[in-house]
Structure 1
Amino acid sequence: MSREEQDVDDSAPGEEHVNAHEPAGGVRGYLLGLGLATLLTAASFWVGWTDLVWRPAVPTAIVVLAVAQMGVHLVFFLHITTGPDNTNNVIALAFGVLIVLLVVLGSIWIMAHLNHGMQMGPDEMMQHMR
């Protein structure tokens, strides 16, 4: 058994071996990812500074560019794909996104309801002062 065969057999579940011939593999993949990430960053600054984009649509455009940026980072730098050997990484990523969404949405819900419960009208305030 050669050293390479032994390394393939001696891998952890979910561990991915990056193939240099894949679009996201090797130095070429990292450089392509860097170029795309730089382009998306420049595009988000451009969207914020230009008058060519309708002003109410700017936040939506920036969010779309940010999601694209996350996709570039996941594929080209973290090598998270939907391949059969990458199932654990995809599940862990989905669970992390779920937890972040629960924390953010739960915090917004709590703050909105606390703010609503703390607002009293002048009549209610006078009754509490007596």
Structure 2
Amino acid sequence: MTSTTQNVLLAALLAAPFALPVAAEAQPKADRTIAAVDTDSDGTIDLAETKAAAAAVFDKLEKDADNTLDAKELKGRLSRQELKKADPDNDGTLTKDEYLAVVEARFKAADPDNDGTIDAKEMRSPAGKALAKLLK
């Protein structure tokens, strides 16, 4: 074995303990999100389950009884730019239907195989993580 090969193997062995906790941490978060939303316990979430969970989140976040969410109530779930894009009437708030439209768009982005469901692997993707922010 050459010294270069030995150095690469040594570096990989030394880095492995640090990489595993990150991967292990991402997996349980995705699994917890799926478990919380998966009402039929099939190990995936579909759009209906996702929208039902998102509607409950909307109701929990909506504090001032105006049936909309503003930036403060959204608590960082959407950036200012995302809020503006999701707000077709430009009133600075999202109705439940507008919020659920964002959820649906993020669901579709997190479902690259277009099978109508999201599994834990898809939930760990950047698009899946963006969706998960709207479900907490």
Asked whether the two chains share a fold, i.e. TM above 0.5, the reply is: no
Task: Decide which structure has greater helix share.
Answer: 1
Query: Radius of gyration: which is bigger?
Result: 1
**What is the TM-score normalised by the length of structure 2?**
0.24
